[in-house]
A and B are shown apart, each in its own frame.
Chain A
Amino acid sequence: QVQLVESGGGVVQPGKSLRLSCAASGFTFPSYAMHWVRQAPGKGLEWVAVVSYDGTEKYYTDSVKGRFTISRDNSKNTVYLQMDSLRPDDTAVYHCAKDLWTWLLQFDSWGQGTLVTVSS
């Protein structure tokens, strides 16, 4: 079955950087787009970024453009989220999510998430 396991979260000061990883298994990873979706404590879901199956297309929500970079390594079945210039409002649980199809932009499997706390 599909498994998505995020790692790399933690407490970081404003302005610093963090890199999240998501290890995938149970499906043909190179065939699917992959997403990051975050959820601030007690709040709703916010889509963050997507990378296409081959890594050539990337899109971001406006609030992270220029600060976050999504990437993938199909040889390692892993997707990454490099987060720079972190702000307190980036504090959230970050989930990676598998696209329902190659590029359908809906999410049929989710990881449990990794908590990022941005605080001085």
Chain B
Amino acid sequence: IVLTQSPATLSLSPGERATLSCRASQSVISNVAWYQQKAGQAPRLLIDDASNRATGIPARFSGSGSGTDFSLTISSLEPEDFAVYYCQQRSNWPLTFGGGTKVEIK
């Protein structure tokens, strides 16, 4: 299953709302997770199964979607949120990631 993330880069200012998209080449039901990766660091789980915030993740992060279309929303960007975000599906083998969306400071 191919996951296509858009846009590739999102240029926003702190305090703005970010909406990231992940589209699957076939239905993955709700089996999508979202990860955040900062430069030089390991990824961190944000959302599991489309909409469940992982332990310790702030409420400004939310996920939605089902079937083939998913989104990650950051309601108000904090300085520490500028990073690369990946979606990942677990519906079919092999497990796959999207190509990533970089959220950069405008």
Contacts and interface: CB of A to CB of B under 8 A. Distances in A.
Interface size of B as a range: 20 to 34
Given A62-B94, A105-B90, A106-B88, A45 B42 contact: no
A100 B45 contact: yes
Interface in A37-88: 37, 44-47, 50, 59-62
Nearest to B90: A105
B94 A107 contact: no
Contact of B42 (A44, A46, A95): A95
A106 B42 contact: no
A60 B41 CA distance: 24
Given A46-B97, A47-B97, A105-B95, A113 B88 contact: no
A106 B95 CA distance: 9
Contacts, number: 59
B44 interface: yes
Given A104-B48, A106-B88, A59 B43 contact: no
B66 interface: no
Contacts of A37: 43
Given A44-B86, A60-B94, A106-B90, A112 B99 contact: no
A110 interface: yes
Contact of A108 (B31, B49, B54, B99): B54
Interface of A: 35, 37, 44-47, 50, 59-62, 95, 100, 104-108, 110-113
11 contacts: A45-B43, A45-B88, A45-B100, A46-B97, A47-B94, A47-B95, A47-B97, A50-B95, A106-B48, A106-B90, A108-B54
